[in-house]
Structure 1
Amino acid sequence: MRKKILTALLTGTLLMTGMAVSVMADDEKTFVYGTTGYSEEMGDAGLNPHDNYSGWSAIRYGVGETLFKYNDNMEVEPWLATDYEFTDDTTVKITLREGVKFSSGRTMDAQAVKECLENLIKVHDRAQYDMKIDHMEADGLTLTICTTEPCPAIINYLGDPYGAIIDMEYGVQGQGGNANVAGTGPYIAEKVTPVQIDLVKNEDYWGGEVKVDKVTVKSFSDGSALTAALQTGDIQGTYGLQYDNYVLFDGNPEYTINSCATSRCFFGQFNFQSEIMQDQNVRKAIEMGIDKEGFCSVIMEGRGIPAKAAFPDSFDYGNDAVETVTYDPEGAKALLEESGWKDTDGDGYADKDGEKLTINWLTYPSRLEQPKLAEYAQATLKEIGIDVVINNTPDHRTFAENGDFDLYVSSLTTAPTGDPEYFFTSTVTGAKNYGKYENEEVTALTEKLHQTFEPEKRAELAVELQQKILDDDGFFFVSHLNMGIVTRSNVKGMAAHPCDYYEITADLDVEQP
C-alpha cells in the first residue's frame, strides 16, 4: 500500500475514499500552448493520423512519430526507421529502430508497423494513391514494402503525418475530434477534444528524457483572444499569432520569436463548374486584380512572401522557375471588357446583360490570414469592377465539397514531404481538387512525376506542371508563409520548422522564471 501511495504522489494523483485528489509535485513542469492550427474546420481535430489531416496534430503535439522525418533543409532522415534500401523499382526494405514502445506498452516491430500502414491505406483518402502499396512483409525489425508500380517518393510519403505509426491493437479510442491513439512520441494524450488536448510525458520514451511533465494544447479561433492569452500568461507559447500583433512581442525580452520560411501557401481554386469561372478572361482578371505585394507587406506585416506558384524561392522548382501574370488593374479591366463585362450603369461594378459581376469567395476563419486576404481582395477587385461576396465559415469544407463557391481560398503546405509531388497528387489531380480542374496533359505529367526517380527530372516536371496550371489559370497563388512560434523567454526547445510539423518535442523545456 505504501508503494502505491508513493507512486500516486509522484504521478500527481492520490486516491482517497474513492475520490481523486490532484497533487502537484514541487518540481513538476507544465506548459500551456495556444494555437490556431488545431480545429475541426481544418480537418485536423483529434489524433487519429488515418483520419483526414489529424496526423498533423499527432505529430505536432508529440504523440506520434513517423518512420522518416525531415531536417531543416527538408531532406529525409530516419526516425522510427534506421535505414532503407530499394532492392528494385517496386520493393523497398526498411530497417526499424530497436527498443521503441508504443504508449500502450506494446513493442514496435515490423508486424506492428505493417498493421498500421495496412489500415492507413485502407481508410485514408490520399495514402493509397500516394504510396501504391501492394503488400508488405514483416520479419522482426525488417519491413519490406512492395508497390504496384515504381514509387520513388514512398520514403518521403512515409514521413507525411498520416504515416504516424500507431498501435492498431490499442486501436482508435473515440471518434473525430475526440479520437486518441497510442503512438511512440514523447507525450501521451490523457484527454482529447476538438478544442483541447491534455498531455503527460511518456516515461518510457525511446528518444531520451522528456523534460516537461504536462502539456495542454488549446485551440483558438480568435486572434485577439490568442494574443491576450499570451500577454496575460494564460498560455506560455503560441502558433498562429496574427501578423499585426507580432510587434507587441518583437524586441521584448520577456518573449522569444522563432521564425522560418515554409512552403505553406495561401492559394485559390477556381470552380470550373461555375458558369462565371468557365471564362478564362474572368479568372485571369481576378489574378491580375489582387495586389500580392501589398497584401504581404501591409496586411501580413512582411511575414508573407508573394507567391507566383505553389513553391517558394528556396525550392529549385519554386517561384523563380515559373512565369505568371502580375498585378495590373487596367489590364484586368481590359480582359473583362473583352468578355463583355463593363460598367454600364455607373455603380462601379462591371455588368453584362443586366447582371452584375459577382463572385462567391469561400474561405474560413481559423487561419487568421485568410479572412484578411478575402477583405483585401474584396477591396482591390472592386477597383476593377468585381463584386466579391465573402463566405468566411468554419463549415467551408461542406461548401467546397458541394461546389458552392466561385473561388475557394485555403492554405496548404505544398511540399510537406520535401518533394513536389504532394501538391499535385493531393490538390491538382487528387481528392482536394474541389474546383474540378481538369487537364489530361497535367494528369499524365503528374503520373510521370510519380514514377520518376531522378531528383533533377522530378524538379523539371514540377516546373512544367506549375506552368501548365498557371497558363490554364486553374489556380492562383498569393503568399507563402513565414511562420512564427512565440513563447515566453523561459520556454526552450521550441522552434519553427520548414515543414510546419514537430512543434512539441522532447526538447521542450520550461525553466524557472
Structure 2
Amino acid sequence: LGYNLRNPLFKDLKVRQALSYAIDRRSIIDGVILGIGRPCTGPFSHVSWAYNPAAKNYEHDPDRARRMLDEAGWKDSDNDGLLDNGGKPFRFTILTNQGNNERIRAAEIIQRNLKAVGIDAKIRVMEWQAFLEQIDKRSFDSIILGWSMGRDPDLYDIWHSSKTKKGEYNFIGYANEEVDRLLVAGRRTFDIGTRKKIYHRIHAILAEEQPYAFLYVPDATPIVHKRFKGIEPAPLGIFYNFNDWRVPKDRIEW
C-alpha cells in the first residue's frame, strides 16, 4: 500500500506507522493467497541476501494504532466513529487495478481494518491503462500494487528522490538524503559484504518510515512435469537456469 507523500494526510510519520499497526497482514495472507506467503517488512524478500531480519515489524495492533493517531491529533471529536483533525475527517481513497482480484481483496481487508480504528478508506478500481495514467499524473491518495524484484537488490529507480518525474517509479514522492546516498553507494561497489550492510540499512530506514505499508511476499508454487530435467529451484524463482532445462530423448512425446 503506497502513500502519495505529497498528500498532507501522509506526511506525518506517526500516522503512517499507525496505519501499519492497523493493517492485519496475516488476515490478508490467509484471505487473499490462502496462507501461502508471509508478512513483508520492507522492499526486500526474505530470500534475498539484502533482507534485514532486524527491520521493524508491524504486528497487527489496532489499540496501538488508535493511540498513535490520537497522539498525532486525530480524534473522534463528534462521536461519529470517524477520526478528524481540525474539522477534517480522516478519509482517503485506495486505488488499484481491475483484473487483479488479489489486490482488490487486499484493499477490502485493509478498508475494514482502517474502519475499525476510525478511518474511512474508499476503494477505487480502475482499468489498467487508466490506473497507470493516474499514477503518472500523481493523482491518487494511495495505491495497491506489487513489485517483482530481480536477483540484484538495486532499487535506485524506485526510491531515489531524483526519480519522481512522470513515467518514473518513485511515484509516491519519497525523499530521504541518507537513502539517496546509500542507493548510490550500493551501485559503486561489487563487494557483497559492503553492499549487504548498505541494503540492510536501506531496509531498516524504509521499515521505520513506512512510505509504503509493506504487506506480504507470496510463496511461489510452480508445477513442472516430471519429464523435465535440469531444473534447480532457487530462492528467487526457478527460471534463472531455464536454458539448462531439457527433456531426455526417451521421454520426448509428440
TM-score band by shorter chain is: 0.7 to 0.9
CA RMSD of aligned residues (A): 2.8
The CA deviation string for residues 205-235 of structure 1, in whole angstroms up to 9 with x for no partner, is: xxxxxxxxxxxxxxxxxxxxxxxxxxxxxxx
**Which residue identity lines up with residue 188 of structure 2 in the other structure?**
Q
Distance 2:123 2:29 in 1: 20
Q: 1:356 aligns with which of 89, 109, 115?
A: 89
**Which residue identity lines up with residue 74 of structure 2 in the other structure?**
W
Alignment of 1:10-159 (within 5 A): none
Tell me what 1:427 maps to: 158
Paired residue secondary structure (1:315): coil
Matched, 1:334 2:71: no
Tell me what 2:13 maps to: 280
Q: Cα 1:377–1:493, aligned 2, differ >3 Å: closer, same or farther?
A: farther
CA contact (8 A) 1:491 1:511 kept: no
Alignment of 1:280-299 (within 5 A): 280-299=13-32
Alignment of 1:49-448 (within 5 A): 268-393=1-126, 394=128, 395-414=130-149, 416=150, 418-421=151-154, 424-429=155-160, 430=163, 431-448=168-185
Tell me what 2:191 maps to: 454
Q: 2:213 aligns with which of 439, 455, 476?
A: 476
CA contact (8 A) 1:280 1:473 kept: yes
Distance 2:198 2:242 in 1: 35
Q: Which has the higher contact order (CA 8 A, sep 6+)?
A: 2
Unmatched runs of 5 consecutive residues or more in structure 1: 1-267
Cα distance, 1:451 vs structure 2: 0.2
Could you list the structure 1 runs, at least 4 aligned residues long, displaced by more than 4 angstroms after superposition. 489-497, 499-512
**Which residue identity lines up with residue 399 of structure 1 in the other structure?**
Q
Paired residue secondary structure (1:327): coil
Q: Cα 1:420–1:503, aligned 2, differ >3 Å: closer, same or farther?
A: closer
Cα distance, 1:275 vs structure 2: 1.4
Cα distance, 1:442 vs structure 2: 0.9
Cα distance, 1:444 vs structure 2: 0.8
Distance 1:485 1:332 in 2: 38
Paired residue secondary structure (1:288): helix
The CA deviation string for residues 224-283 of structure 1, in whole angstroms up to 9 with x for no partner, is: xxxxxxxxxxxxxxxxxxxxxxxxxxxxxxxxxxxxxxxxxxxx3221111111122221
Unmatched runs of 5 consecutive residues or more in structure 2: none
**Which residue identity lines up with residue 470 of structure 1 in the other structure?**
A
**Which residue identity lines up with residue 284 of structure 1 in the other structure?**
Q
**Number of residue equivalences:** 240
Cα distance, 1:299 vs structure 2: 2.8
**Higher Cα Rg, which structure:** 1
TM-score, normalised on structure 1? 0.43
Tell me what 1:465 maps to: 202
* Fraction of identical pairs, as percent: 23
Cα distance, 1:355 vs structure 2: 2.6
Distance 1:511 1:368 in 2: 36
Cα distance, 1:450 vs structure 2: 0.7
Distance 1:346 1:438 in 2: 36
